[in-house]
Amino acid sequence: MKVWCSDSQVRLEWSDGYTRDYYSLWLYDNRPEHRDLHSGQRLVDFADLPEDVAIASASCDADCVEIQWRAGSVSRFPIDWLRDPGRQFEIERHSWTSADAPRLLWSDYRSCDEAAWLMALARDGIAFIRGVTSLEDLIAGVGYIRETNYGRVFDVKNMPDAENLAFTDLGLPGHTDNPYREPVPPMQALHCVQPGSEGGESIFVDGFAVADHLRTTDPTAFEALTRTPVTFWFRSAHVEFSAERRMIELAEPQGIKAIHYNNRSIQVPLLPIAQSAEFYRASKAFSLLLRSPDFTYVVKLDKGDAVVFDNQRILHGRTAYGSAEQPRWLRGCYLDKADLISRLAVLSRQGDGCHTNT
Ligand SMILES: [Fe+2]
């Protein structure tokens, strides 16, 4: 490790040639004395920082870089932290198609490796589990239920005079739930209380894989769906929601952030003729891919089976089912995603050491 400094900056060069420059005020802001020892939270606001601080000298040992401030005090910064001070816990996501579906995780509730199951859920956007007796107990291991107008937990079964086709015995193509709600419920869980005697297979699609495929095979359609705002709308006797979204929402610089697709609630905007034609062509191409056997994973959930999935990535649907004998009955709920990522981040700390500058 080589160290150079001037009044206003420090330059570090690691043995592998990696070099970074650190502005004096940034180092002063991040000095350990400016962080709470227990929580790691900042103890200073920008208004409390001086306009300028001068560095007198900088040196390093095996673990830390030591800064002597011209004003007289000394601060020590762990070298590992200086190498990547902005490091955040991240999940590498794995897109999947129907050919990859056999690798999707099915665990048994009693013998489930919690960390592996949560990681599969975050990585694949979906994970299954057998032998669940309580949806609420399952969710307690993932995060917190997010209550909506459908209730804290809702029954997905055929009901008379249903205000939403979800609560009928009709087949439903792949969709994300509640794109008309702001914010969209990030995740959804479904628990099979009673499998239908006739039909009612569940359908799952990785919308990110489909969108990536569309981008490669039909970039014009992909661009139209990422550019055109559409309104999702839902109204019943007691609620009325609407939200404007792109069906494929991009993250900077090139990633896909979210899929919003629900045929029952989409309101196509009135566009100029050429743009309208392009939007319908693009939407049909996307819709056909979402139905394609190349991307759909079809499975009949049995009693006690449960599934949790990312509602802004994984589309879900079902085949129609008969209601004469034993009708299909699932219980469902929505939940936040932040708690899933948080739990994985905490689990990853074990044996990882602390990378803060406390
Ligand atoms: Fe749904």
- 316 alpha carbon – ligand 1 mean position (Å): 6
Asked if omega into 272 is within 30° of 0 (cis), the reply is: no
- 190 alpha carbon – ligand 1 mean position (Å): 10
- 175 alpha carbon – ligand 1 mean position (Å): 6
Mean pLDDT calculated for residue range 98-112 = 96
Mean pLDDT calculated for residue range 223-232 = 96
- 223 alpha carbon – ligand 1 mean position (Å): 26
- 233 alpha carbon – ligand 1 mean position (Å): 15
Mean pLDDT calculated for residue range 286-306 = 97
- 322 alpha carbon – ligand 1 mean position (Å): 18
Mean pLDDT calculated for residue range 182-201 = 94
- 167 alpha carbon – ligand 1 mean position (Å): 9
Checking if the pLDDT of 356 tops 50, the result is: no
How large is the greatest C-alpha to C-alpha distance in the chain, in angstroms? 84
Checking if the pLDDT of 332 tops 90, the result is: yes
- 191 alpha carbon – ligand 1 mean position (Å): 13
- Give the pLDDT confidence score for residue 350 in this predicted structure: 73
Report the candidate in 107, 94, 192, 143 with the shortest Cα–Cα distance to residue 338: 143
* DSSP assignment letter at 151: B
Count CB neighbours of 346 within 10 A. 10
Across the chain, mean pLDDT equals: 93
Checking if the pLDDT of 229 tops 50, the result is: yes
Element (H, E) at 224: helix 219-227
Q: Which residues surround ligand 1, an ion (CB under 5 A)?
A: 177
Q: Residue 198 phi/psi, 5° resolution? A: -145, 110
Report which of residues 337 and 351 the model is more confident about: 337
Of 150-164, 267-281, 284-298, which range is least confident? 150-164
Report which of residues 192 and 52 the model is more confident about: 192
Do the beta carbons of residue 331 and residue 191 sit within 8 Å? yes
Mean pLDDT calculated for residue range 68-77 = 95
Structure tokens at 292: 């394609």
Beta bridge partners of 233: 242
Checking if the pLDDT of 197 tops 70, the result is: yes
- 173 alpha carbon – ligand 1 mean position (Å): 9
- Give the pLDDT confidence score for residue 89 in this predicted structure: 87
- 31 alpha carbon – ligand 1 mean position (Å): 49
Mean pLDDT calculated for residue range 235-264 = 93
Residues whose CB is less than 8 angstroms from the CB of residue 78 and which lie 6 or more positions away in sequence, other chains included: 63, 64, 355, 357
- 70 alpha carbon – ligand 1 mean position (Å): 63
**pLDDT of 305-317, one tens digit each?**
999 999 999 999 9
**pLDDT of 38-47, one tens digit each?**
998 999 999 9
- 358 alpha carbon – ligand 1 mean position (Å): 46
Q: What confidence tier does 291 reach under pLDDT thresholds 50, 70, 90?
A: very high
Structure tokens at 233: 């709308």
- 177 alpha carbon – ligand 1 mean position (Å): 5
List for the chain the helix, strand, coil content (%; round to 5).
25, 30, 40
Strand order in the sheet with 2-5: 2-5, 9-13, 19-23
- 311 alpha carbon – ligand 1 mean position (Å): 9
- 174 alpha carbon – ligand 1 mean position (Å): 8
- Give the pLDDT confidence score for residue 111 in this predicted structure: 94
**pLDDT of 113-165, one tens digit each?**
999 999 999 999 999 999 999 999 999 999 999 999 999 999 998 888 888 88
- Give the pLDDT confidence score for residue 354 in this predicted structure: 35
- Give the pLDDT confidence score for residue 326 in this predicted structure: 84
Element (H, E) at 343: helix 338-349
- 333 alpha carbon – ligand 1 mean position (Å): 10
Mean pLDDT calculated for residue range 271-278 = 96
Q: What is the distance between the alpha carbons of residues 135 and 107, in angstroms, rounded to a whole number?
A: 15
Alpha helices, H only, 190-268: 207-217, 219-227
Element (H, E) at 128: strand 126-130
Checking if the pLDDT of 93 tops 50, the result is: yes
| Identity of the amino acid at 204 | F
Of 81-85, 89-93, 266-270, which range is least confident? 89-93
Checking if the pLDDT of 29 tops 80, the result is: yes
Residue position matching structure tokens 């494929």: 248
Q: What is the distance between the alpha carbons of residues 268 and 53, in angstroms, rounded to a whole number?
A: 57
- 22 alpha carbon – ligand 1 mean position (Å): 50
| Identity of the amino acid at 147 | E
Checking if the pLDDT of 355 tops 80, the result is: no
Q: What confidence tier does 357 reach under pLDDT thresholds 50, 70, 90?
A: very low
- 343 alpha carbon – ligand 1 mean position (Å): 26
- 317 alpha carbon – ligand 1 mean position (Å): 6
Beta bridge partners of 59: 66
- 277 alpha carbon – ligand 1 mean position (Å): 28
Mean pLDDT calculated for residue range 283-299 = 97
- 169 alpha carbon – ligand 1 mean position (Å): 13
Q: What is the distance between the alpha carbons of residues 9 and 179, in angstroms, rounded to a whole number?
A: 48
Residue position matching structure tokens 């579906």: 101
